Structure 1
Amino acid sequence: MIAVAGGKGGSGKTTTTLGLARALSRRGAPVVAADADWDLPNLARLSSATNDERNPAADAPTAIDAVQTEGEIRPDRRAPTVLAAPHEPEDADAEQVLGALTEAVPDDTPILLDCPAGASPDAAAPLRVAEQCLLVTPLRRAALRDTAKTAALARQLNCHPVGTVAVRAESVPEGVGDLLGCPVLGRVPPAEPEPLSDSSVRSAYDALARRLVAAHGRDRWRVA
């Protein structure tokens, strides 16, 4: 389980969660992408808005639905299984629900958690249950500072960063990996208004998927 974490809202976590999940699917992996930002959920909405007809936002199962399903979750290898936030999040324990996903999903299936912003108490729940985290950040000074705080929180919770992806970036200067204490695994170029429809962005997420598999999932995930 990988927590996709970063600084403040708008840093690219949701786009990266979905873009990376689709890239892993293109390699034949049965991927689960779950919205762990229960106060500001938009993973299922983004999935629907970017033409994933197999998982329209209104019909996307929630993480609670998934763990209550009899038997294991069996993701489709043709497209990620996107799990929305609960409809009434105040009635559920996020850490307990997200932790149950690891029991409901086959061991060789990548699970990506779209985390809340920053280093708030809400951000701690997915970081506590994930094996490692992937840091997502624009290359602005304030964003890097906030991402460093998130990285420090993750390490305190024993969820060590496997790497960083720089988003909306033309290039990545030296020193970013040293600042955040982990290697830069990818760079996603700027593309508006729908980044996931841009071929250069898809290629960037394909490259990120390849490096993430090499760094974390080669011996544990079912990928081509």
Structure 2
Amino acid sequence: MAVAGGKGGSGKTTTTLGLARALSRRGASVVAADADWDLPNLARLAVETDSDPVESGSPADVRGARSVADAVREAEPIRPDRSEPTVLAAPDSARSVDARATFDALDGVTPEGAPVLLDCPAGASPDVAAPLRAADRALIATPLRRAALRDAAKTAAIARRLDCPPVGAVVIGETSVPDRVAALLDCPVLGRIPDGGGAPLSEREVRDAYDGLARRLTETAAATGWQIA
């Protein structure tokens, strides 16, 4: 599933990690991969918000984290546990890696039935095509601002053209969403994530909101093949 949005700062990375952790809390073996190779920050966010960091788990060590390209090249099955998602970083030399081939091959090294979330580039970026083509469905993340919603609608249209139709949307920074948002994006609003300030994933109400998103997402037809304990 591609986590996509309009412009940068729409909440894609936080949603990718927050949703991945919520699915783990439901007993799923989750893989979250950074697909925004020009502005990669999924692995850094995972380290900075880890409640129980490993010895090497500091922001300075993120650059040496296992990347999605390494995982595909090694061709060894990824074996995520059910307590914490496996997070794959962007490759260090992204421009030397074929993004489309990498994301297509990721399916071959992840367990059958494991949710795989791709943290996408901004919707207007040409680089968004590779993860959208590789994914089965998209989840659209957007703030409730006019310009952001307009860009999110464009991203949803791009996803449909690339045969990655949106399963739903998640609105960032709000607890109340007008009905017309779903009509604009042409997909249901599955989640409303409150504003958690500078460290949203450390806030209980934000984690609870991602738990609710995970529950609603697993009830959709797009997630019927996911294995949840």
Does 2:25 align with 1:20?
no
Structure 2 counterpart SS, 1:108: coil
- 1:19 Cα deviation after fit: 0.1
Map 1:1-224 → 2, pairs under 5 A: 2-51=1-50, 53-54=53-54, 56=57, 57-216=62-221, 218-224=223-229
CA contact (8 A) 2:63 2:92 kept: no
Sequence identity (%): 61
Which residue identity is paired with 2:74? T
Which residue identity is paired with 2:148? A
CA contact (8 A) 1:119 1:153 kept: no
Aligned equivalents of 2:15 and 2:65: distance in 1?
Answer: 19
Which residue identity is paired with 1:183? P
CA contact (8 A) 2:174 2:192 kept: yes
TM-score, normalised by the number of residues in structure 2: 0.94
Give unmatched runs, 5+ long, in structure 2: none
Structure 2 counterpart SS, 1:116: strand
Deviation track 1:100-152 (CA, whole Å, cap 9, x = no partner) reads: 11111111100000000123211111001100000000010000000001011
CA contact (8 A) 1:165 1:187 kept: yes
- 1:77 Cα deviation after fit: 1.4
CA contact (8 A) 2:167 2:222 kept: no
- 1:60 Cα deviation after fit: 2.2
CA contact (8 A) 2:160 2:166 kept: yes
- 1:174 Cα deviation after fit: 1.3
Give unmatched runs, 5+ long, in structure 1: none
Aligned equivalents of 1:180 and 1:68: distance in 2?
Answer: 37
**CA gap 1:30/1:86 in 2 versus in 1, 3 angstroms:** same
Deviation track 1:18-39 (CA, whole Å, cap 9, x = no partner) reads: 0000000001111000000000
Which residue identity is paired with 1:94? A
- RMSD of Structure 2 on Structure 1 (CA): 1.3
Aligned equivalents of 1:25 and 1:59: distance in 2?
Answer: 24
